[in-house]
């Protein structure tokens, strides 16, 4: 029997969601460790490591019951608007902040599908499976805060600790899209479009 504060038994449903959160967190950490080990110092620029990371997260999301929902026009439009909000400040500030994304020398035609796969799989896990489980445990604001923090930490191996505030802001916006639309399609679209734009622009 799961125990909450002061030894009070947790409801069975909530206890299952707490276990789901812990398993998802462990799975995300394992996938990130695998990506870092395979890529070495060049985590952000390694296409094979990124593809394997996307595959691992996609499998984790599928195991957690996440399915590809029907694409709604309003979700797609919200995702495009979210991407614009993400890309515009980056374009304005990129001369002051150097991210590895701006230094890619690999063929963008080969790199783009991997970036899209990573972005979509991250959102399927974070704003799909993990957000849903956290929302059931502690409500939408707790889910928003926790997934924002996880998103920022996941990107430390790519961009360093110095980019944590920026990554947290991005995660907060993506989480806001999840709250706004009720699903993970809009944040996935925004994330993928923003990452691709960051490489091509």
* Sign, Cα dihedral of 106, 112, 118, 119: positive
Output the pLDDT for position 73. Answer: 92
Which is nearest to 106 in space by CA: 36, 199, 35? 199
The predicted-structure confidence for 67-96, as pLDDT tens digits, reads as follows 988 889 999 999 999 999 998 876 776 655
CA distance 125 to 120: 9
Cβ atoms of 130 and 29 within 8 Å: the answer is no
Output the pLDDT for position 10. Answer: 47
Instruction: Provide the residue ranges of all domains of the chain, joining segments of one domain with +.
Output: 13-200
What average pLDDT does this structure show over 36-44?
85
The predicted-structure confidence for 1-19, as pLDDT tens digits, reads as follows 444 445 545 444 577 888 8
pLDDT band at 105 (very low <50, low <70, confident <90, very high): very low
The predicted-structure confidence for 163-191, as pLDDT tens digits, reads as follows 999 999 999 999 999 999 999 999 999 99
Alpha helices in 42-201 (DSSP H): 47-63, 73-93, 108-123, 131-138, 140-154, 156-159, 164-181, 185-200
Place of tokens 């296409």: 47
């Amino acid at each position: 029997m799961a125990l909450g504060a002061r030894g009070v038994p947790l409801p069975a449903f909530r206890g299952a969601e707490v276990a789901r959160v812990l398993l998802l967190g462990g799975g995300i950490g394992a996938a990130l460790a695998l990506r870092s080990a395979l890529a070495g110092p060049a985590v952000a620029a390694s296409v094979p490591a990124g593809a394997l990371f996307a595959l691992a997260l996609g499998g984790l999301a599928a195991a957690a019951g996440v399915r590809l929902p029907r694409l709604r026009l309003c979700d797609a439009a919200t995702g495009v608007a979210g991407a614009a909000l993400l890309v515009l400040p980056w374009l304005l500030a990129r001369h002051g902040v150097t991210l590895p994304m701006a230094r890619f020398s690999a063929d963008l035609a080969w790199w783009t599908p991997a970036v899209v796969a990573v972005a979509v799989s991250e959102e399927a896990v974070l704003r799909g499976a993990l957000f849903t489980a956290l929302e059931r445990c502690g409500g939408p604001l707790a889910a928003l805060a926790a997934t924002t923090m996880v998103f920022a930490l996941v990107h430390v191996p790519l961009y360093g600790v110095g980019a944590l505030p920026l990554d947290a802001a991005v995660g907060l916006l993506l989480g806001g899209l999840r709250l706004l639309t009720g699903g993970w399609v809009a944040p996935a679209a925004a994330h993928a479009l923003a990452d691709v734009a960051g490489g091509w622009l």
